[in-house]
Amino acid sequence: MNKLTERRDVNRLIFLCTATYFISYITRINYGAIIAEIAKQTGITNTLLSLALSGQFITYGCGQIISGYFGDRIQPKKLIASGLLVASLMNLLLPFCANAMQMAVVWSINGFAQAFLWPPLMKEMTSLLFAEDCKRATTIVSWGSSLGTIFVYLISPIVISLLNWKYVFFIAAACGIGMTFYLSRNFYEIPAMTKAANKSNGPSRSGRENIKLFFSPVIFLILLAIVLQGALRDGITVWMPSYIAETYHLNSAISILTGVLMPIFSIFCMQLTSLLYRKKIKNPLTCAGSLFFIGFTASLFLAIFTGKSTMLSVVFSALLTGSMHGVNLILICMVPQLFSKTRNVSIISGIFNACTYIGSTLSSYGTPLISDKFSWNATIILWLVIAAVGTILCLLSIRPWKKFQKNLEV
């Protein structure tokens, strides 16, 4: 399979993938970012509004496996462009929904469409880039999610104050539709890309071999850890503005703005994680376990300072979600690359990422349920326990993974 050797072509591919992921996050996380404002303006409770998030995470998770399967067989451009276009159209429709159930249906379709982005992007990068370029590209492309989050949390309060919450979705839709047409015209101008994409339809491991691969106990432990990081990462990302608004009695625009700190921490954590993994810590489970422990420590301090300091609560929330973005980078982005010899990178990436959104689904509905019935302190204690269990799972996986990786390289 042809690899890109010209630095200009490599950088162009990285730019296109990063821009795609950046725009996808603008069309994906805006609902969660302004959910407190939607609740305020419509009178719908957080629990009912969270149905849309749960629906999105469920369809996104299921769609990951379907996308992964087709990502190994169909040119990535077709999957990525169609997914982004449908997601953009759902953003256009959501402001016209009359109730929480209609919002849930529209946002669930958005989630399914969004699923057709990451596995094909992973397939594209592993097919066209050499190993070191691919690791660097994966880290940079992952920044797209954090940069998209920063954009949403910065722009949303301004849009809400000048216009209203509905225009947050209209702007996202315009960005998504524009990016879809840009990709359609530019994605395949890179030399050898079309040829490589066509060759990706070549033979791969049989279904029986893949099933045997996934019945390994270490893979089971990794998938459980992925579920836990999904619960923490998205539970905090979605509900932190509501937590800040309700705990410190701030208006929704200010609480949304505090969310900017989370993706800034996430970029820092992902960059540090990438450097440590490539230069120092070669075992991905050692790296992931260290990050889970950082998340545990951040949860502990968050529990201590809840209700006492807005700034410290924001900082420790950001550190917790940043460490989970680091875990995501290792387990969802880096580990699937190690399966390149199986020629099923897309489906493996899809399965791993699907597990993230099992956790995301549970946290999107469970977080407001626990905080409404008990308190935000109870929710933070749950985050503490989840981070501790994640640490233990990764530590238990370190030695078995070394043996598994040797078999994988045969």
Does any domain span residue 338? Answer: yes
State the Cα–Cα distance between residues 239 and 274, nearest whole angstrom: 27
Residue 105 is predicted with a pLDDT of 95
The yes-or-no verdict on residue 22 having pLDDT over 90 is yes
Q: How confident is the model over 351-360, as pLDDT tens digits?
A: 888 888 888 8
Q: Are 61 and 117 in contact (CB under 8 A)?
A: no
Q: How many domains does the chain have?
A: 1
Q: What is the CATH number of the domain that holds 374?
A: 1.20.1250.20
Q: Residue 293's pLDDT is what?
A: 95
pLDDT, mean of residues 301-322: 85
Structure tokens belonging to residue 207: 């279904």
Q: With 0-12 CB in 10 A as exposed, 13-18 as middle and 19+ as buried, what is 212?
A: exposed
Residue 10 pLDDT greater than 80, yes or no: yes
- Does any domain span residue 354? yes
Q: How confident is residue 201, by pLDDT bands cut at 50, 70 and 90?
A: very low
Q: What is the mean pLDDT of residues 184-202?
A: 49
Q: What is the DSSP string of 168-187?
A: HHHHHHHHHHHHHHHHHHHT
Q: Report the C-alpha dihedral over residues 173, 177, 183, 186, rounded to 10 degrees.
A: -130
- Does residue 39 have a pLDDT over 60? yes
Question: How many CB atoms are located within 10 Å of the residue 12 CB?
Answer: 18
In this structure, which long-range contacts are made by residues 6-13, counting pairs with CB atoms below 8 Å and at least 24 apart in sequence? Answer: 6/191, 9/190, 9/191, 10/129, 10/133, 10/137, 12/189, 12/190, 13/124, 13/125, 13/128, 13/129, 13/137, 13/190, 13/193
pLDDT at 246 over 80: no
**Comparing 14-18, 20-24, 209-213, 306-310, which segment has the lowest mean pLDDT?**
209-213
Cα 231 to Cα 92, 256, 269, 356, 408, distances in angstroms: 28, 20, 18, 7, 29
Does the residue 394 lie in any domain? yes
Contact 157, 257 (CB under 8 A): yes
Phi-psi region of 2 (alpha: psi -120 to 50; beta: other; left: phi over 0): beta
The residue assigned the tokens 């699937």 is 336
Average pLDDT of the residues in 360-366: 78
Predicted pLDDT at 301 = 92
Polymer length of the chain: 410
> What tens digit of pLDDT does each residue of 203-220 get?
444 555 556 666 788 888
Arithmetic mean of pLDDT, 84-90: 96
- Report yes or no on 86 lying in a domain: yes
Residue 205, Cα to own-chain centre: how many angstroms? 27
pLDDT category of residue 193 using cuts at 50, 70 and 90: very low
Give me the pLDDT at residue 239, please.
75
Answer yes or no: are the C-beta atoms of 158 and 278 closer than 8 Å.
no
Alpha carbon distance 168, 89 (integer Å): 13
The answer to whether the beta carbons of residues 93 and 102 sit under 8 Å apart is no
pLDDT score of 54 more than 90 = no
Q: Is residue 262 part of a domain?
A: yes
Residue range(s) defining the domain that contains residue 229: 7-408
Q: Is residue 89 part of a domain?
A: yes
Mean predicted confidence (pLDDT) in 302-323: 85
Alpha-carbon radius of gyration of the chain = 20
- Mean predicted confidence (pLDDT) in 185-204: 48
Residue 245 has pLDDT above 70, yes or no: yes
- In which band, very low, low, confident or very high, does the pLDDT at 189 lie, cut at 50, 70 and 90? very low
Give residue 49's identity as a one-letter amino acid code: L
* 255-279 pLDDT, tens digit each: 666 667 777 878 888 888 888 887 7
User: CA-CA distance, 277 to 284, in Å (whole number)?
Assistant: 7
More confident residue, 281 or 71: 281
Q: Report pTM.
A: 0.75
pLDDT on residue 188: 47
Residue 71 near residue 120 (C-beta atoms within 8 A): yes
Q: Is residue 1 part of a domain?
A: no
* Residue 2 located in a structural domain: no
367 sits in the region (left: phi over 0; alpha: psi -120 to 50; else beta) called: alpha
Please identify which residue in the block is written with the tokens 């998504």: 176
The candidate with the shortest Cα–Cα distance to 165, out of 343, 40, 81, is: 40
Q: Mean pLDDT over residues 369-375, rounded? A: 80
More confident residue, 101 or 198: 101
Give the mean pLDDT of 57-66. Answer: 85
Least confident residue range of 39-43, 154-158, 285-289, 365-369: 365-369
Residue 254: the pLDDT is 66
Query: Do 258 and 342 contact (CB within 8 A), yes or no?
Result: no
pLDDT of residue 294: 93
Query: What does pLDDT average to over the chain?
Result: 82
Lowest mean pLDDT among 70-79, 107-116, 295-304: 70-79
Q: How confident is the model at residue 198 (pLDDT cuts 50, 70, 90)?
A: very low
